[in-house]
Amino acid sequence: MNRIGIVAKYKREKEVREILTDLVAWLRQRGLQPILEQDLAALLGYPDALSREDLPAASDLIVVLGGDGTLLSIARLVKNYGVPILGVNLGRMGFLTEVTLGEMIPALEAIRAGEYRLDRRMMLHAQVFRDDQCLSEHTVLNDVVIHTGALARIISLEVTVNGAYLTTYQADGLIVSTPTGSTAYSLSAGGPIMFPSLFSIILTPICPHTLTNRPIILPVDSTIEATLRGVQRDTFLTLDGQAGLAFLPGDRVRIRKSEYTVPLVRFPDKDYFEVLRTKLKWGER
């Protein structure tokens, strides 16, 4: 891996400038080529820069400094290229960006030595239909969410799995999640935690009117279709919590496993259970 793409989201400009200056110097000293996202390059006055969209095609590895949201935005861009992602946590929770800032350089050394593995995380492919016309298609790493807007109104979602009727949810919404996304919005809505290397799909209703509507784990080859019934118009479809569109009565979303996976860099000395204990404070009083 010689070409190292670098992406960062930051609030404290001075702190990130120092981190990036040290990282770029470290890479250059070892004969590696840093390629910065344009905004970061402008921050440092650095010449080798590309747009975020063009970075995956030019990189052998992408280092993401920030939180899970920053990594999610990159994950959707790398799907066509299979570029490994190293997530370095500058935020708070960080299930995906699990490497700390202090561990970043040792992690890069381990990558150079080949002492790492790749976790290939499944993604979901979503198609949105209106009047039987496909409006848009999306690929996500965490989840597809149908939810109400600012007003707390229950919506009706008729859901089928592989063409068989499942139920009509009367709820604030519905989360369709990957195992990677099981520790995101789905967990907050009462969904199960799934080991992220598994390939399954989770349906988690949001505040269902019928309390017996519980989360359900479906086989990875399932095709889920959810249709908005009734006249509720203040409804939206959100993708990885970052992109969204209006979801009108009669609109239908079809969700299945994507053909793409996201390769995340992992290390032998870190296991997922440690991440859960650390992030969720298990065992603490």
Q: Which of 14-28, 147-161, 218-232 has the lowest mean pLDDT?
A: 147-161
Question: Residues 186-194: contacts with CB within 8 Å, 24+ apart?
Answer: 186/143, 186/215, 189/215, 190/214, 190/215, 191/215, 192/217, 193/276
| Residue ranges, CATH 2.60.200.30, the chain | 123-259
Q: For 20-49, what is the mean pLDDT?
A: 90
CB 139 within 8 Å of CB 157: no
Q: CATH top-level class for 3-116+267-280?
A: alpha beta
Question: Up-side HSE of residue 179: CA atoms within 13 Å toward CB?
Answer: 17
Lay out the sheet containing 173-177: strands in order across: 216-219, 200-206, 173-177, 143-148, 235-239, 243-246
Measuring CA to CA, which residue among 33, 88, 43, 96 is closest to residue 64?
Answer: 88
Instruction: Report whether CATH 1.20.120.80 matches the domain 123-259.
Output: no
Q: Is the pLDDT of residue 93 over 70?
A: no
Q: How confident is the model over 116-159, as pLDDT tens digits? A: 999 999 999 999 999 989 999 999 999 999 998 766 678 999 99
pLDDT at 152: 65
pLDDT at 211: 84
Instruction: Identify the residue whose tokens are 């990885």.
Output: 240
Q: Is the pLDDT of residue 238 over 80?
A: yes
pLDDT at 264: 95
Mind telling me the catalytic residues?
68
Q: How confident is the model over 253-270, as pLDDT tens digits? A: 999 999 999 999 998 878
Q: Is the pLDDT of residue 188 over 80?
A: yes
| Residue ranges, CATH 3.40.50.10330, the chain | 3-116+267-280
Report residue 44's pLDDT band, with 50, 70 and 90 as the boundaries: confident
**How many residues comprise the chain?**
285
If DSSP codes are grouped into helix, strand and coil, which group holds residue 203? strand
